[in-house]
Structure 1
Amino acid sequence: MVTSVETATGTEPATGSRLYNEDLAPAKERKWKVYDIFALWMSDVHNLGNYTFAAGLFVLGLSAWQVFTALLFGFVIIYLGMNLMGRVGQKTGAPFPVVARISFGTAGANLPALIRAVIAIFWYGIQTYLASVAITVLVLAIDPGFKSWTEHGFLGLNALGWLCFVALWAIQALILTRGMESVRKFQDWCGPAIWLVMIALAIWILAAGHWSISFTESPKALSTGEQFRQWFGAAGLILATYGTLMLNFCDFSRFTPDQKTVRRGNFWGLPINSTAFALLSVIVTAGSMQVFGEAITDPAELLSKVHSTPILIIGALMFAVATMGVNIVANFVSPAYDLANIWPKRINFRTGGLISAVFALCVLPWKLYSSPAVVNYFLGGLGAFLGPLFGIMIVDYYLVKRGKVDIAGLFDPEPGSPYHYRRGVNPRAIGVFVPTAALTAVIALVPFFEPAAPYSWFIGTAVSAAAYFAVGKRQHA
C-alpha cells in the first residue's frame, strides 16, 4: 500500500514551539526489538477480561475449535491494522497525538487524543478494580481472617477492596512515571509470567478431567445459522476490543529500529500468541465444566478452588501482574501522551501519567462498572468513535498524502505549517468524522441495530475511510 514516494522531511522540530516537548518529539533511541513488541502483546492479551471474553464465547455455544478459528480470523485483521499504524509510528518516531496532527491538524489532533484518553482513563480504573476483586477473592481464600475487613466500607468499597485496589493503582503509577524504558522492561517479563500460571492451571484442570476435553463439542446446542452469527460476532467484537490500541500503536512502534521489527513482533504477538491464549482459556473453561459441573469463566474463582496456599499466593501475584501489564500498555501510556499534547510546555509524559492515574481513581470505577448505562452507553459510545478515527488517519497518511510527512511541520503551529489547515483544524477530517462517528454510535447502542453492533468498529472504519478518501483527494487535486 505504501508507495516509493513515502518520505519524511524536516526531521528537526523547533524545540521552542509551544507544540513541542521531549516526550512528544520523534524518538531518538530505538531500543525496542522483536521480543519487546511480542512481550507487549503478551502483556495486553494475558488478562482477566480477555480470558473471560474467550471463555464466554464457549459458554454461548461455540466449540473450542470454533472459538479458536473466529479469534484467529479477528487477530489476523488486527495484525494487518497494527502494521499499518505501526509503520507510521516507526517512520515518524512520533506518538499518537502528534501523528494525529497529520490528518486532523496541529490543534484538531486534540479531538482524537482526548477521545482516546477518556476511554483509556475510565478503563484503567475499571480494569484495576476488576483485578482488585480477583485479588480480594484470593486473599480471603488464603486467609479467611480478612473477612472482617469486608464488613465496613467507604464510598461503596469495603476496606479490603480499597487496600487491594490502591495497592495495584500505586504500583502501576510508579512504573509508568519512570518512563517508557521502564514500561518496556516491565512488560518484557510480566506477559510471559502469566503464561506460566495459565499453562499450570490448564494442566491441573486437564488432569482433573482425565485429559478428555473435547475441541468440537459445545455446552449449548446452536443451529448452523446461529453458529455462523456467533462466529462472525466473535471476530467483530475482538476487532472492536483492539481498536483502541490499534489507534495508538504508534506510541510503541516509534521506539523500534525498522519496519521488520514491528511486523515480526506483531506476528508472534497477535495471530500466534493471542489466539493461543484464547484457546487455552476455552480449554480451561471446558475442563471446569467437566470437573465442577459448571463453566467457570473467572480464572480467579477457579484458582481459589486449588487447596494450596503457595499456589494461591503465586496466582494472586500473577493476576496482579497481568492486570498491570494490560493497563500500562492499553490504558496508561496513551493518556500520558494525549494529555501532554494539550499543553506540551507544562505537561510531559510523567505528568500526564499522574493526571491519568488520579482521574482513574477519582471516577470510582467500581461504581462505573456496576452501572450498565455507563459501561454500555458512555464507554461503548466513545469506543464506537475509534473506527472512524482509524479510517481517517490511515487513508490520509497512505492514500491522500502518500506517506509524505514534514516532521518539523507537526510541531509548527503557525499558518505556514502544512498541518495548520484552517486555524489548526482540518475541516475535512472533522466533517467526515462527526457523521461517521454518529453512525457507528447508533449501530453500537441502539437496540434495533443489535445484530450489526459487533461490527460497528469495522463499519465505522470502512465508511470513514471511503468518505475521507473522496474528500481528501479533492483537497490535494
Structure 2
Amino acid sequence: PDFTRYAKSQRVQIRGQAIGLPPSMTLFAFIGVVVTSATMIIYGETIWDPLVLAGRFDSKMLISIAMIAVAISTLATNIAANIVSPANDFSNLAPRKINFRIGGYITGILGILICPWKLIADPNGYIFTWLIAYSSLLGPVGGIMIADYYFVRRQSLDVDQLYNSDGIYKFKNGFNRNAIIALLLGILPNLPGFLVQVKLIAADAFPAWITGLYHYAWFVGFFISGICFLLLSRNAKREIVSISGQTA
C-alpha cells in the first residue's frame, strides 16, 4: 500500500504488480537455486551466501563486480521493502515532528540496534526460527485481509469512514473481534511446531503431523484464519461505497 496508493486506478496497480513481481521473483529464485547447486559441483559444498561465494573467485575484477551488484541489490531491496513502510509509520505517529526522511533515519537506527547480523549468522535459526515464525503471523493477517476485502465487503470500502475514529469501522472499542479470534485460531496450529523448534518443549510432546504444520506456517495460518473470519463474519452486511465513489 505504500506504493500502490499512488496508482491512478486499481487496474494500473494490478498490472504493475503482475508484471513486476512474479517474473522477477521467479527469476531470482531460479538463479539462487541454480547457483547454489553449482557451488556443490565446483567447490564440493553448498554456498548460499553471495558474499562467501564471491570470496572464492580468483578474478579481482569479478569480485569487484559481484560486490557492487550485492551493494546495489541490498540498498534497493531494503529501501523498497524495509524502509518506506516503517518510515511512513513513524511519520504518521507525529506528522508535525517526523517527516518521511526522519522516519527513515529512525528505521535505520533501529535496524542497527536489533543486530540483524545475528539473525543470519545461523542459517538454520534464521530460516526455521525467525522467517517461518514471522510468516506464521503474516499468513493469518493476510488471510483475514483478503477474506474481509474480497468476500465480506466485496471490494467496497467507504474511504472517508476509514479516517473517522467514530465511523462504521470502529467496531467495538476500535477492535474487530472476529478478526482477532480468526487471527488467534490461525496462529494456534503453528504454535506446537514453533515451541519444538526453539526447544521449549520436547519433539515428541505432540504428534509429528501437528508439529510438521509449522513448516507450512504461512499457508496454514492464511487459510485457517481466512476461513474462520468468513464464518464468523457470515452475517456481516456489505459496506456501502462512499458518496465520492472512492474505493480501496
**TM-score in terms of structure 1 length:** 0.42
State the partner residue of 2:221.
460
Distance 1:344 1:405, change over 3 A: farther
Correspondence for 2:31 among 267, 280, 283: 280
Correspondence for 2:178 among 418, 428, 432: 428
How well do the aligned residues superpose, as a CA RMSD in angstroms? Answer: 2.8
Residue 334 (1) aligns with residue 95 (2): no
Shift of 1:457: 0.8
Distance 1:355 1:455, change over 3 A: same
Aligned partner of 1:319: which letter? V
State the partner residue of 2:164.
412
The answer (yes or no) to whether the contact 2:135–2:217 under 8 Å persists in 1 is no
Following the alignment from structure 2 to structure 1, what is the Cα–Cα distance between the partners of residues 223 and 146?
Answer: 11
Distance 1:346 1:397, change over 3 A: farther
Q: What are the residue-to-residue correspondences of 1:181-330 with 2, within 5 Å?
A: 250-330=1-81
The answer (yes or no) to whether the contact 1:335–1:353 under 8 Å persists in 2 is yes
Distance 1:406 1:348, change over 3 A: farther
Following the alignment from structure 1 to structure 2, what is the Cα–Cα distance between the partners of residues 332 and 468?
Answer: 31
State the partner residue of 1:385.
137
Aligned partner of 2:54: which letter? L
Correspondence for 1:403 among 152, 155, 158: 155
Q: What are the residue-to-residue correspondences of 1:88-167 with 2, within 5 Å?
A: none
Distance 1:337 1:260, change over 3 A: same
The answer (yes or no) to whether the contact 1:432–1:468 under 8 Å persists in 2 is yes
Following the alignment from structure 2 to structure 1, what is the Cα–Cα distance between the partners of residues 37 and 188?
Answer: 39
Following the alignment from structure 2 to structure 1, what is the Cα–Cα distance between the partners of residues 5 and 37?
Answer: 40
Aligned partner of 2:73: which letter? A
The answer (yes or no) to whether the contact 2:132–2:218 under 8 Å persists in 1 is no
Q: Is the partner of 2:234 in helix, strand or coil? A: helix
The answer (yes or no) to whether the contact 1:381–1:444 under 8 Å persists in 2 is yes
Count of matched residue positions in the alignment of Structure 1 and Structure 2: 226
Contiguous gaps of at least 5 residues in structure 2: 197-202, 239-248
Shift of 1:343: 4.5
**Identity percentage of aligned residues:** 33
Following the alignment from structure 2 to structure 1, what is the Cα–Cα distance between the partners of residues 127 and 158?
Answer: 39
Distance 1:353 1:262, change over 3 A: same
Larger RCO (alpha carbons 8 Å, 6+ apart) = 1
Q: What are the residue-to-residue correspondences of 1:11-50 with 2, within 5 Å?
A: none
The answer (yes or no) to whether the contact 2:190–2:211 under 8 Å persists in 1 is no
Residue 470 (1) aligns with residue 231 (2): yes
Q: Kindly provide the CA deviation profile for residues 371-407 of structure 1, in whole angstroms up to 9, marking residues without a partner as x.
A: 7778755664343111111111111111112222121
Shift of 1:302: 2.7
Following the alignment from structure 2 to structure 1, what is the Cα–Cα distance between the partners of residues 21 and 55?
Answer: 30
Aligned partner of 2:103: which letter? G
The answer (yes or no) to whether the contact 1:376–1:445 under 8 Å persists in 2 is no
The answer (yes or no) to whether the contact 2:190–2:213 under 8 Å persists in 1 is no
Shift of 1:271: 3.4
Distance 1:454 1:270, change over 3 A: farther
Q: Kindly provide the CA deviation profile for residues 127-185 of structure 1, in whole angstroms up to 9, marking residues without a partner as x.
A: xxxxxxxxxxxxxxxxxxxxxxxxxxxxxxxxxxxxxxxxxxxxxxxxxxxxxxxxxxx
Q: Is the partner of 2:228 in helix, strand or coil? A: helix
Following the alignment from structure 2 to structure 1, what is the Cα–Cα distance between the partners of residues 40 and 187?
Answer: 41
The answer (yes or no) to whether the contact 2:91–2:100 under 8 Å persists in 1 is yes
The more displaced of 284-293 and 464-473 is 284-293
Shift of 1:421: 1.6
Following the alignment from structure 2 to structure 1, what is the Cα–Cα distance between the partners of residues 71 and 110?
Answer: 21
The answer (yes or no) to whether the contact 1:444–1:456 under 8 Å persists in 2 is no
State the partner residue of 1:181.
none
Distance 1:383 1:289, change over 3 A: closer
Shift of 1:437: 2.3
Shift of 1:286: 3.5
Distance 1:383 1:340, change over 3 A: farther
Aligned partner of 1:451: which letter? G
Q: Is the partner of 1:388 in helix, strand or coil? A: helix
The answer (yes or no) to whether the contact 1:377–1:445 under 8 Å persists in 2 is no
Distance 1:476 1:360, change over 3 A: same
State the partner residue of 1:215.
none
Contiguous gaps of at least 5 residues in structure 1: 1-249
